Amino acid sequence: MSEHLAGSYEELSAQAQQHLQVNEYDQAQKIYERIYNRLGKMKAEVIKRRPNLQQLKLTSLSMLGDLAGLHGNYDQAITYYQAGLEISPENLVYRRAIAQAKIDRGDIEIGLDELRTLAVMNAGDARPWIWLGLELWVQGNLAEATENLERVTTLSGSSPEHRSEAFSYLHDLYREAKRWPEAEAAWKQVWHTAGRKIEDVSPLYQMYWEADDLSQARSWLKQEKNPLRVGFYQGLFFHSEGNAKKAATAWSKTAAQNPLEHDSGHEAWAEAALRTQADPETVIEVIRTVVTRRQINIRTTILLAAAQLRAGRIDSAELALKAALEMGHRARPRLDQLSKDHWRLFTELGGEQATTDQLKQHFEIIEEEAGE
C-alpha cells in the first residue's frame, strides 16, 4: 500500500512538471497544492522516515512559492518558503527565496540586507555571495554586485564550479559596463577555472559585434565550430557593414543546411532562414522539434512568432509571444513586457502584420518605432 502511495505522489509531481514545461501554471499549481495538502495530513514523523515524501513536500512548497510569486502574490510566496525553511532550516535556498520575494514586493533594502546577512553568516559558502551579487545587479548596483562576484573568484572555500559561475556573471557585468578586455578575460576564466579549453566562443564574437569591433568579432568567429552560427554571424557582420549582397549570400547558404544534423545553433539557423524569406513552415517545424530537445528561450520563441506570422497565423504568433512573455515574468528582473530589442527583431522578421495592436501590446516600444 505504501509503495502505491509513494508512486502516486511521484506521478502527480511528474504531471505538474509537464504542465510547467508548457507554461500551464494554473494546472501545475493545483497539482502541487493537492500533493502538499495530502502530505499535510500525514504525521511529521512518518514523513521524516520516508525521504522521498519529505523531498516531495519540500519541492511542492518551493514550487508553490515560485508560482505565487509569478502571480504577484508575494506574501503567500513567503509563507510557503517559510514553511519549507521550518522543515529544512539548513537549506539556504529558502532564505534566498524569502529575501527575493520581499524585494519583489517592494521592500528592496530589507531583502538586500537579508541577503547581505546571509552571505556574511555563511562567509565560506560561495552561493550567498553569488546570490547577493546577482540581486544587486538586478537592482542596478553594479559596483557592489561586481565586488561580491569578484570575492567568489578568490574565496578559499569556493569550488571551481562556483568560481567559474562567478566569472560567467562577471563577463556579463563587464560587458554591460563596456569593459571589453575585462569581459573577454572573465570569459576565458570561466573555462580555465573549470579546467577546460574554451568550448563556446559565441559570447565573445557577439560582444565585439555589439561593440562595433568587427575585426575582433571576426577573429573569434574563426574559432566557432558550429557551421550554423558561423554562417549566420558572417551574414550579420556583412549586414553591419552595409554589404547586403554578401549578407544575403551567407544567410542563404546557412538556411540551405539541415539544422537538425547539429546539436546546437538552431536559433542562428532560424534567424538566417527568416532573413532569406525561406518557407516559414520549415522554420516552425525545426523550432518545434528543437523545443522537445531542450528548453526554449525568449529569442527563439520570438523567432517562432515571426515565422507563424509569416505563415499567416496571427493567433499562433500571439500565443508564441505570450509564451515568451511568460519566460520574461520568471526572469530577474521581471519583464512585464518584451523589450525594445525584441520588438525590433520581431518587426524586422515578421513583416507588416507584426505592428498590429493585437501583437504590439506585448512589447515595450516607443511611439516612433510603433509607427504612430
Give pLDDT tens digits for 305-346.
999 999 999 999 999 999 999 889 888 878 889 999 999 999
Residue 290 has pLDDT above 90, yes or no: no
One DSSP character per residue, 307-356 reads HHHHTT-HHHHHHHHHHHHHHHHHSSS--SSB-HHHHHHHHHHH-GGGGS
C-alpha angle 83/85/91, rounded to 5°? 150
Cell 556583412 belongs to residue: 238
pLDDT at position 295: 63
* Residue 363: count of CB within 10 angstroms of its CB: 24
Q: What is the CA radius of gyration of the chain?
A: 23
pLDDT 10s digits, 82-130:
999 999 999 999 999 999 999 999 999 999 999 999 999 999 999 999 9
CA–CA dist 23, 326 (Å, integer): 7
The three cell numbers of residue 268 are: 542562428
CA–CA dist 345, 320 (Å, integer): 14
Residue 157 has pLDDT above 90, yes or no: no
CA distances, 123 to each of 109, 162, 232 (Å): 20, 14, 45
Averaged pLDDT, 199-221: 97
pLDDT at position 24: 84
Residue 8 has pLDDT above 90, yes or no: no
Decide: 311 and 280 in contact? Cβ < 8 Å: yes
The three cell numbers of residue 47 are: 514523513
Domain positions in the chain? 1-106, 279-372
3-state secondary structure of 363: strand
pLDDT at position 40: 85
pLDDT-derived band at 215 (thresholds 50, 70, 90) equals very high
pLDDT-derived band at 367 (thresholds 50, 70, 90) equals low
pLDDT at position 53: 86
Looking at 3.40.640.10, 1.25.40.10, 1.10.1740.10, 1.10.800.10, the CATH number of the domain 1-106 comes to 1.25.40.10
CA–CA dist 293, 67 (Å, integer): 24
Residue 292 has pLDDT above 70, yes or no: no
> Across the chain, what does the average pLDDT equal?
91
The three cell numbers of residue 223 are: 574559432
**Contacts made by residues 275-278, CB under 8 angstroms, sequence distance 24+:** 275/235, 275/248, 275/251, 275/349, 276/248, 276/251, 276/252
pLDDT at position 49: 80
Closest by CA to 310, choosing from 343, 357, 278, is 278
Residue 2 has pLDDT above 70, yes or no: no
| Percent of the chain surpassing pLDDT 70 | 95
C-alpha angle 253/199/175, rounded to 5°? 90
pLDDT at position 277: 83
pLDDT 10s digits, 189-207:
999 999 999 999 999 999 9
CA–CA dist 93, 64 (Å, integer): 14
CA–CA dist 341, 53 (Å, integer): 45
pLDDT-derived band at 184 (thresholds 50, 70, 90) equals very high
Residue 371 has pLDDT above 90, yes or no: no
**Contacts made by residues 172-178, CB under 8 angstroms, sequence distance 24+:** 173/137, 173/142, 173/145, 173/146, 173/149, 174/146, 175/203, 175/207, 176/142, 177/142, 178/211
- CB neighbour burial string for 246-277, b if at least 16 within 10 angstroms, e if fewer: ebbbbbbbbbebebeeeebbbbbbbbbbbbbe
Please name the residues in contact with 127: beta carbons below 8 A apart, sequence gap of 6 or more.
92, 162
Cell 567568489 belongs to residue: 152
pLDDT at position 44: 78
Residue 1 has pLDDT above 80, yes or no: no
3-state secondary structure of 6: helix
pLDDT at position 294: 65
pLDDT 10s digits, 258-271:
999 999 999 999 99
